[in-house]
Every structure is written in structure tokens, then in C-alpha cells.
Amino acid sequence: MFSFVVEARSGRSRAGRLVTPHGAVATPAFMPVGTAGAVKAAPWRDVGEAGAQLLLANTYHLMLRPGDELVAELGGLHGFTGWPGAWLTDSGGYQVMSLAALRTVDEEGVAFRSHLDGALHVLTPERSMQVQMNLGADLVMAFDECPPLPAPRDVVRAAAERTTRWAWRSRQAHRRADQWLFGIVQGGVDPELRERSAREIVALDFPGHAVGGLAVGEAKPDTMRVVAQMDGLLPEDKPRYLMGVGTPEDLLAAVGHGVDLFDCVLPTRNARNGQLFTSHGRLSIRNARHRRDPRPPDPACPCSTCARTSRAYLRHLHLAGEMTAAHLMTVHNLFFYLDTLRRLRQSILLGRFEEFRGETLRGLSAAAEPADS
Amino acid sequence: MFSFVVEARSGRSRAGRLVTPHGAVATPAFMPVGTAGAVKAAPWRDVGEAGAQLLLANTYHLMLRPGDELVAELGGLHGFTGWPGAWLTDSGGYQVMSLAALRTVDEEGVAFRSHLDGALHVLTPERSMQVQMNLGADLVMAFDECPPLPAPRDVVRAAAERTTRWAWRSRQAHRRADQWLFGIVQGGVDPELRERSAREIVALDFPGHAVGGLAVGEAKPDTMRVVAQMDGLLPEDKPRYLMGVGTPEDLLAAVGHGVDLFDCVLPTRNARNGQLFTSHGRLSIRNARHRRDPRPPDPACPCSTCARTSRAYLRHLHLAGEMTAAHLMTVHNLFFYLDTLRRLRQSILLGRFEEFRGETLRGLSAAAEPADS
């Protein structure tokens, strides 16, 4: 039902194949974020045409609305949403810390009030597993504690140690054979805490590992230093997921440290704000320079938006507040992310990852426009 | 380049074919509204798959943003928007009266301040023609004065008389052979004023006629009485367009009085508000009864939304504020309107319009739910 194989390597980068009950995922893979069970502004057909094979949904949001039991009753995330590919759910730990009101954390778990209606809820490792079993994703995450950075070393250490205990409890509570449960490594940007956390989590023998606690406020060089450190500590034969990262440049760097899976709101959120990722850098559609520009966002891009849509028209729709602007730009940004990883994977198969990364980074830094208006 | 033929009749209903430089339109036809050059929440592929052949854009909105000269520079509405079918623009008269601030009307035209930025603009018959020639739609409308109802008879008469003079000026000012200019009949719900307006507008020998000044506050029986009166006054061999009408029931009634073209914001606006049109009446997706309902909005509907989407999921997306909810419901409502007219046209070809109307009305009145929550 599940398998993961590394098919090729180029340097430290890996091209793999992760088989789930809802299809195979070619790795390195980017997961579009479908917080509430939908990728914002992108219907399934477009998400599929962009090449997505695995999506992320947020346990915190779905447990509050529409409720995980309702989702279970309607066939889990797959049946409820109709997305034909694979789903991954996060543990709820990160979002309960960043979104919920009046949260209190103790060894048992996190008590919090919903940001929607103020109702009191509790998330524990056992409850997170129950919710994620109800949601029914293919890949699920152990419940972790993710402190925002910077934080005192004591805080980071305590969170990492608790994350290990919660990982053990998560493993004990998880009982669906049609889900793969990943352990999450914490430890902030402290090498010693990271190493200890990685060793403890790996010892629990999860089928895959996530690197959490990054992209939460630390300096970017620290992020990649930790990712590189993880490369030496996580087993080679299991998938590695870098949570919440990041820009196209970040993905290129992290793949170079053996990361297989990514998720990030950047392509979808930025699209709604009018920012497009292109092979020649970022482009803000609000910029007055696009007012009469008949070219598509990225002339080199074969996506359906670039095949049919001028910058002038996109700019007009965006300024007029038309939802279609968000849709068209989301379709492009998702295609750009997924296509970049497809081509990157091909470069690994050809043993040319470093060349591909160099060429792609040069394109990305050739700013599509001097500055945003 | 243009032609209109009535291919079949059933009672007073007509099945026709309106050929434009951007494709043929099977009539009776419903035009989805694309105010700013886009159908809200529905990308072109979906609009095309719903079966739309002709869309309406609003002159008032486009002249203010992005500006008709910019649209002209980028290839007119066709080139600018990428919609491959036909476009119709209204005259701007109705919207300048209902949306603009501080408008003053005199024989020359209407001076007004933009609802966007307060800038001063003037619309006259000549300026409306210039803007519509710049926008480059296939079908364009004479500049008219449309008073909201109820209004004193003096006001309605003066507006109808001025509409005739403005129609003449519009005809004089219009100079694109690749556009068909329609005259607009006014006269409120007063039979004598309506008859006089119709005779004057018909005398100007436009290639098509629109019935304006309805759906602006009058009682519904008055609307259909005027539509029936128009049927006896407008030439049989030219297309007839009932502006701004209406519900599915209205369309069925008006086709029975020989109307060929319709536009209305109802299917798209109601979709964004969570109201679905179905073969068994209207359905409000917010209604708590849909919370765990695995059925599609309309089990009899072959649209892409009904093929894949449960009421429970749609309700969740709508309550969560996901744009995809507006998209999925817009796709369904457009399909419902366009498909109803396709089947209606078929019934005319088979000489069975009255039977079709009766069956369809019985379905529409079999409320899909007792009451909205």
C-alpha cells in the first residue's frame, strides 16, 4: 500500500517515488496547500493539470470547520473534497500555537479557543491522531510542539523533548494501516538540540520524517544549516519532508540537502496578492509597467494562464477585484512551482542537479522588473 | 459578416441563428454578464464549457477601468480578454444612471462622477459610440435614457422621446461595419409611450432591437405585458433583446413572446451568495439541511460541479469563504441557465415549446427545500 524508493541521486539530491493508497508521488515534490480542503482559488482540475500529486490540508482548520467527524462521515478528505490524488495532514500543533487564542500548553497537550467562535478545544497527541484518522489523509504527522523563533534555548529544548514524548504517544495512538505516520524533528537552530531530537525521533522508527520548527522566524542561513545537518542524521531510505518551506530558491537549496517533500503557501497566497513567480524572477502584477503589456506573465511558461492571458488583462482583473485574477495567477504560480520540481527531478535522473540549480538560480535572480510599484 | 435568421417557430417563440464576426449564436440565448471583461468567478474555459456563445460587458465600467482606449490598443474586448466567442456591450446609459455619483442629464448627454475615484466624465450618444467602437464588441447598443420605475408619466415620456433622439445620434455616430448597433425601446410600463417609442426606434432601421427600461422596479405582470406588446411591434426578421431579465421563469415567459436574447446577473451573483438554480427550484447552500448531504446540487445536472461536488462540501467551502465555492456554484448556475435555453430551443424546433415550458415551470416550482435557513 505504501512504499518509498530513491531512484537516483545527484550529489546529495534524490529523485524518489512515494507510493500511497491514492497514487504515486514523484519526489522531490511540492504540496500545494489546501487548508480547508481546497486549494484557494484553484479548482481540482487546475490543481491536477498543474501536476500536483499530493496536497496538504490543515488539521486545525478542518477539526474546527466542518469538523473531522463530518469529514469522516462523508468519506474522509478524499471523498469529501473529491481530490483524486493523495492528501497529507499536518498535526495541528503549529497552527494551534500560531492561530488559536488563549492557548495553554502542558505535558498533556494544548488547550485553546477557536479563532472562529472562541469555543474551547484540546489537542493532544491522541486527539490529533483521532482527528487525522477521521480526516483520512494518506500521510499524517505526529503531534509536535513548534516554538516560534527566536526563543531561549530552554524553551527550544523543552519543546524538542516534549515533541519526542508526543511522537511516542502519537505512534501509540495511531491505528490506521492505510496512513503513513511521520515523526517530526524539532530543536530550533541549535545543532546539539537538533541532533538529539533527530536521534530520538529516528529511534521511534517512523516510515518518514519531517523537519519542523523552521521558517518560523530564524535567519535563512540558519534554516539551510539545519537542513544540511538533518541530511546527515535522517535515514536515507525514508522520505524527508521540510515543513513550510519555501521560496523556489529555498527548494533548490533544500533538495541539494536530500529533502523530498515541501509545502508552502507562497505560490497560492502570493498569487492572490498579485505576485507571480517566473523563470526570470518575481513580478508584481500591480506594477504600472504592466498596464499595456500584451505579454503573458512568463513567455517561457506553458501553463494555461500564460497561454491565454496578458499582463495587461491580469493587472486589470486584479485591480478590479475580480476573483478570476486570483484564479489565473494561482494556476500559474502552482504550475511554476510544480514544473520547476519536475525539471529538477529530471536533472537528478540525468546526474545534472548542480547544473540545473545554477541555471535556475541565475534565471530567478534576473529580476523580471526593477522594483515593485 | 452578420446575419439573423429565424429557423423555427412554436407559438410565438422563435429558434434563430445570429451570426457575428466571432461566431454564431443559437437563439434564444442567454448572455452571461462579464461586467469588467470577465465573468465573475468563471474562467473562460468554464464559460465556454457551459455553452455560452455571447457575453455582455458593461461600457460604463470598462470606460472607467481600464479605459476603452487601452482596451482598443490591446485588440478590443476580444484581444484584451481572450474570450473566443462574441461580445455585446451595453450603452452605459443604464449604469451611469444607477451607479455614478452626481449625475446631471440634459439633451446633450449625462455628466457624472466615477464611482471609483470621483473623476468627472461625460457620456453622450457620440461618446458612447466612440467608447463602444473602442471596446470592439460584436453587438453594441444605442445610448438611451432609462428612468427607474415607478416614475411620473412626464418623466417616462421625456426619457422615451430623448431616447429616440439619442438613438438617431447614436446611429449617425456609429461607424464600424464589424459591429451591429441595436436600437433600444423605452417607455416604462405605459402602453401608449411604449408603442410610440417602438415605432420611432423601428423607423430608424437598426439591425436589431432591445427592450430597455424593464426590470427596474415595476411589477412583474407589467414586465411581461410590455414584452408581449413589443412582440406585436418589433419586426419579426430582426433579433430582439430583453435587457436585464431575469429569472428562469422570466426567460420562459419572454421566449413565449418572441424574445431572442437575454442577459442578467442572477446566475452569477446568486452563485456568489450561495444560491443555486436547479431543475427542482432554488437551493440555498447555507441551509443547515445540506450540512451532511452527499448529493450534488442537482442530481439531474451534467455540469462539472454536479459531477464532482456534494452539497456538504459546497456548503463548507461557502461558509469558509473559499473562492472555489463561488467558482463551483457559478459554473453550475451558468450551465443551468444555458442548458435550459438549449433544451428550450430544441423544444421550439420540435414545435413543443408550450409543453416544455409547462414541464420546466412545474420543476422550478417544486421547491428544492422548504425555506432558506
The full set of domain ranges for chain B reads 28-264, 274-365
3-state helix, strand, coil in chain B (%, to 5): 45, 20, 35
| pLDDT of the residue at B275 | 98
| Contacting residues for B206 by C-beta, under 8 A, at least 6 apart | B142, B167, B171, B181, B182, B183, B238
User: How high is the ipTM of this complex?
Assistant: 0.96
Q: Do B291 and A66 touch (CB under 8 A)?
A: yes
Percent of chain A at pLDDT exceeding 70: 98
Burial label for B31, CB within 10 Å (0-12, 13-18, 19+), is: buried
Active site residue B90: yes
Residue numbers in B near A320 (CB within 8 A): 36, 38, 61, 65
Residue numbers in A near B323 (CB within 8 A): 40-41, 323, 326-327
Q: Do A44 and B294 touch (CB under 8 A)?
A: no
- Is the CB of residue A114 less than 8 Å away from at least one CB of chain B? no
Model confidence over B208-246: pLDDT tens digits?
A: 999 999 999 999 999 999 999 999 999 999 999 999 999
DSSP letter for A108, please.
S
Cell 472562541: give the residue.
Answer: A118
Q: Do A327 and B323 touch (CB under 8 A)?
A: yes
| pLDDT of the residue at B368 | 58
Rounded Cα distance, A115 and A122, in Å: 13
| Cell of residue B333, nine digits | 448556475
| pLDDT of the residue at B372 | 45
CB A82 within 8 A of CB A44: yes
Model confidence over A86-140: pLDDT tens digits?
A: 999 999 999 888 887 788 999 999 999 998 999 999 999 999 999 999 999 999 9
Give the three-state DSSP class for A226. helix
- Is the CB of residue B66 less than 8 Å away from at least one CB of chain A? yes
Rounded Cα distance, B127 and B121, in Å: 10
Closest Cα of chain B to A267: distance in Å?
A: 16
| Cell of residue B134, nine digits | 473602442
Beta strands in A95-179 (DSSP E): 101-105, 110-113, 120-123, 139-141
Rounded Cα distance, A185 and B221, in Å: 70
Mean pLDDT, chain A, whole residue set: 96
| pLDDT of the residue at A372 | 45
Q: Do A308 and B82 touch (CB under 8 A)?
A: yes
Residues of chain B with pLDDT under 70: 367-373
Cell 431579465: give the residue.
Answer: B245
pLDDT at residue A198 is higher than 80: yes
Rounded Cα distance, B158 and A135, in Å: 65
Rounded Cα distance, A211 and A234, in Å: 10
| pLDDT of the residue at A368 | 58
Q: Do B291 and A42 touch (CB under 8 A)?
A: no
Q: Do B45 and A304 touch (CB under 8 A)?
A: yes
Q: Which CATH architecture has domain A3-264?
A: Alpha-Beta Barrel (3.20)
| pLDDT of the residue at A122 | 94
- Find the distance separating the first CA and the last CA of chain B, reported in whole Å: 51
How distant is the alpha carbon of residue B149 from its chain centre?
A: 19
Percent of chain A at pLDDT exceeding 90: 93
| Cell of residue A185, nine digits | 524533528
- Kindly report the CATH number that applies to the domain delimited by B28-264: 3.20.20.105
pLDDT at residue A371 is higher than 70: no
Residue numbers in A near B319 (CB within 8 A): 65-66
Q: What is the full DSSP assignment across B150-164? A: S--HHHHHHHHHHHH
Model confidence over B165-216: pLDDT tens digits?
A: 999 999 999 999 999 999 999 999 999 999 999 999 999 999 999 999 999 9
pLDDT at residue A369 is higher than 90: no
- Is the CB of residue A40 less than 8 Å away from at least one CB of chain B? yes
- Find the distance separating the first CA and the last CA of chain A, reported in whole Å: 51
Q: Do A292 and B45 touch (CB under 8 A)?
A: no
B65, B135, B303, B324, best to mutate vs chain A, most A CBs in 10 Å:
B324
The backbone torsions φ and ψ at residue B322, rounded to the nearest 5 degrees and listed phi first, read -75, 130
Nearest CA in chain A to B73: A292
| pLDDT of the residue at B373 | 38
* Widest distance between CA atoms in chain B: 60
Residue numbers in A near B64 (CB within 8 A): none
pTM above 0.90, yes or no: yes
Nearest CA in chain B to A72: B292
The backbone torsions φ and ψ at residue B358, rounded to the nearest 5 degrees and listed phi first, read -60, -45
B-contacting residues in A 293-312 (Cβ below 8 Å): 294, 304, 308-310, 312
B297: closest CA among B373, B368, B371? B368
Catalytic machinery residues of A: 90, 263
| Cell of residue A143, nine digits | 503531534
